[in-house]
């Protein structure tokens, strides 16, 4: 008479923790799902590692005909078929069978039994060293790839899909690194593509990404596209991380000649040293307090308005939007209409308004709220992406420090400048930023020379700027003309390396304009190290 050998055991078919019974004749029966198994091997659950509650089972050798996978391929990987499930075996580093992943025949639900967390990659027990190994995202993909490549080249799979890819590869890095070339062949979806890059970074310089056109590897076998998969596999190239470019690929880059400026500065002397203004540049205007940084930036903005078709964003944080708008219109009128005691007609203003603001290419930031760096970056990003602004003017950066209350001034300025630099690169724009200088014994307000180390912060403003322009003027000079004459000095020039005084600018009280004065011979021969 057949008797129970062991009762209240877990069932891998339905997931019941205690409905399975073993009989003395070697058969099993689950009182939950009704499934039977013949010649079943009873494994002592107590010998499994802590945290497991399933017995490791094995079915019969079989082909996976619905996926085009042969019986020989399944047998090679020791994949077997039970009454309701496929069994995919997992091993530890000692080649001991410690876990299964199971796939239901009908609903394709995956379950695990045994200690999957301690296992190696699927198929890792079968291969050791070699010229190639292929890393895929699932067990069926592994069988498919192995078969399509003539059952010649090793194929292993990560354990639980793209989400575990980096963790699985990290734990088995030494094993994978035994191979000369590692083909990464993950699913053609966003998680798969992302995981493939992350794994490729980890496995440099041996990694190669196989870019699929179909959903996953197994789809090529199902659709009889073995040759296409082989082509993609063989044509995959060594993965090159972002930011690394082979010199041999740069012929088209260098033959195009130097980077062209998008527009020239309004001053010839400045153009001789800088070769104009380019996209992707962060340009800092540095000067002491009250030395005309805002006027200088407005002149450049007005020049860009008249010499390009691009839109311009203006964030002048020390003055009202009304003041900035009046100043722009005044530049076109050649009259400082923001100042009292200047006569002009409404018709004059209307004409210049049409020439400037009515073009709908100037956009102003009304800073009625917070001037936090997050707020500023958000507004700049909107100006660029929604309003198509290519030039941004920010006056000035020191105001943003007041909202960085958790940081001291040096750290706050460095953080702000770093984020602005990133923003310029991200959006491919040109940004002008005004910055105050540190106080020195011979003050900048009395004509002191501007130097790179005088920029505020710990050095980030100077380091991260492409161009640094210093403005020098003796605001206390006895001579009126000297008092209103500014020297423009190129302190840093990443593009050409040319530095030194470029020109002088005279501020005309009657017109409110800055007009260029060419340097004399003595100015051009200045040699002090800065």
- Concatenate the DSSP letters of all residues of 388-455 into one string: -EEEEEEE-GGGGGGG-TTS-HHHHHHHHHHHHHHHHHHHT-EEEEEEEB---SS-TTBTPPP-GGGB
Label residue 26 exposed, middle or buried (CB < 10 Å: 0-12, 13-18, 19+).
Answer: middle
CATH 2.20.25.180 intervals, the chain: 4-118
Smallest CA-to-CA distance from 175 within 211, 122, 139, 137 is with 122
Pairing of strands 389-395, 430-436: parallel
Given this model, what pLDDT does residue 268 score? Answer: 92
Using CA of residue 313, residue 319, residue 321, residue 323, what is the dihedral sign? negative
Contact status, residue 295 vs residue 258, Cβ threshold 8 Å: no
Q: Over the range 324-362, which residues count as b (16 or more CB within 10 Å of their CB) and which as e? A: bbbbbbbbbbebbbbeeeeeeeeebbeebbebbbeeebb
Contact status, residue 160 vs residue 203, Cβ threshold 8 Å: no
Given this model, what pLDDT does residue 45 score? Answer: 33
Alpha-carbon distance of 453 to 447, in angstroms, equals 17
Tokens of 157: 């799979």
Going by CATH, does the domain composed of 124-235 fall within 3.40.1360.10?
yes
Q: Which residues contact 73 (CB under 8 A, 6 or more apart)?
A: 143, 146, 147, 151
Given this model, what pLDDT does residue 509 score? Answer: 86
Given this model, what pLDDT does residue 31 score? Answer: 63
Given this model, what pLDDT does residue 265 score? Answer: 94
Pairing of strands 36-37, 80-81: unpaired
Which class is domain 4-118?
mainly beta
The CATH superfamily holding the domain 268-524 is: P-loop containing nucleotide triphosphate hydrolases (3.40.50.300)
Task: Give the pLDDT means over successive 10-residue stretches in the chain (530 positions).
Answer: 56 56 69 60 36 61 93 95 92 93 85 90 94 96 97 94 91 94 96 94 93 95 96 92 72 68 89 92 85 89 94 88 89 84 84 91 79 81 91 85 62 84 91 80 61 70 88 80 86 89 88 84 46
Given this model, what pLDDT does residue 447 score? Answer: 60
Smallest CA-to-CA distance from 310 within 466, 430, 468, 421 is with 430
Given this model, what pLDDT does residue 455 score? Answer: 74
Given this model, what pLDDT does residue 37 score? Answer: 63
Smallest CA-to-CA distance from 514 within 324, 280, 266 is with 266
Alpha-carbon distance of 484 to 481, in angstroms, equals 5
CATH 3.40.1360.10 intervals, the chain: 124-235
Q: Residue 160 CB: number of other CB atoms within 10 A?
A: 17
Alpha-carbon distance of 77 to 65, in angstroms, equals 16
Helix (H, G, I), strand (E, B) or coil at 129: coil
Alpha-carbon distance of 269 to 247, in angstroms, equals 35
């Amino acid at each position: 008479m057949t008797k129970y050998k062991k009762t209240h055991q877990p069932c891998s078919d339905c997931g019941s923790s205690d409905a399975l019974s073993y009989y003395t004749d070697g058969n099993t029966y689950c009182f939950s799902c009704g499934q039977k198994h013949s010649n079943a091997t009873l494994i002592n659950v107590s010998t499994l590692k802590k945290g497991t509650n399933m017995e490791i089972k094995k079915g019969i050798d079989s082909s996976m005909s619905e996926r085009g996978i042969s019986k020989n391929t399944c047998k090679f990987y020791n994949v077997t078929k039970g009454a309701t499930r496929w069994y995919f075996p997992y091993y530890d580093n000692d080649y001991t069978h410690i876990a299964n992943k199971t796939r239901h025949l009908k609903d394709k639900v995956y379950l695990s039994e045994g200690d999957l967390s301690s296992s190696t990659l699927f198929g890792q027990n079968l291969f050791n060293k070699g010229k190639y190994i292929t890393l895929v995202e699932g067990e069926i993909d592994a069988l498919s790839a192995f078969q399509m490549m003539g059952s010649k080249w090793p194929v292993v799979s990560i354990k639980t899909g793209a989400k575990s890819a980096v963790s699985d590869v990290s734990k088995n890095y030494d094993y994978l690194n035994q191979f000369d070339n590692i083909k990464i062949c993950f699913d053609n979806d966003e998680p798969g593509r992302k995981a493939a890059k992350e794994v490729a970074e980890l496995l440099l310089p041996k990694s190669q990404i196989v870019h699929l056109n179909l959903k996953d590897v197994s789809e090529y076998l199902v659709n009889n596209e073995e040759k296409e998969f082989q082509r993609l596999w063989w044509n995959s190239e060594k993965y090159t991380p972002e930011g690394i470019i082979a010199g041999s690929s740069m012929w088209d880059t260098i033959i195009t000649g130097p980077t062209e400026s998008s527009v020239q500065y309004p001053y010839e002397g400045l153009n001789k040293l800088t070769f104009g203004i380019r996209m992707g540049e962060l340009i800092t205007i540095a000067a002491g307090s009250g030395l005309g940084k805002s006027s200088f930036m407005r002149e450049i903005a007005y020049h860009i308005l008249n010499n390009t078709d691009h839109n311009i964003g203006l964030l002048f944080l020390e003055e009202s939007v009304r003041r900035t708008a009046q100043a722009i219109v005044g530049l076109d009128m050649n009259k400082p209409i923001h100042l009292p005691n200047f006569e002009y007609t409404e018709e004059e203003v209307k004409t210049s308004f049409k020439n400037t603001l009515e073009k709908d290419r100037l956009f102003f930031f009304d800073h009625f709220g917070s001037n936090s760096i997050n707020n500023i970056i958000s507004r700049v990003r909107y100006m660029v992406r929604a309003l198509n602004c290519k030039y941004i003017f920010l006056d000035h950066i020191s105001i943003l420090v007041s909202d960085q209350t958790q940081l001291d001034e040096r750290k706050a300025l460095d953080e702000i400048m770093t984020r602005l630099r990133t923003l310029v690169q991200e959006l491919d724009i040109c940004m002008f930023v005004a910055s105050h200088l540190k106080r020195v014994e011979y003050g900048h307000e009395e004509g002191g020379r501007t130097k790179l180390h005088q920029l505020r912060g710990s050095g980030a403003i100077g380091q991260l700027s492409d161009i640094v322009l210093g403005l020098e003027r003796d605001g206390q000079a006895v001579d009126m003309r000297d008092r209103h004459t500014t020297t423009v000095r190129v302190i840093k020039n990443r593009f050409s390396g040319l530095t030194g005084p470029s020109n002088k600018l005279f501020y005309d009280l009657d017109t409110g304009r800055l007009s260029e004065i060419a340097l004399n011979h003595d100015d051009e021969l200045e040699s002090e190290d800065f």
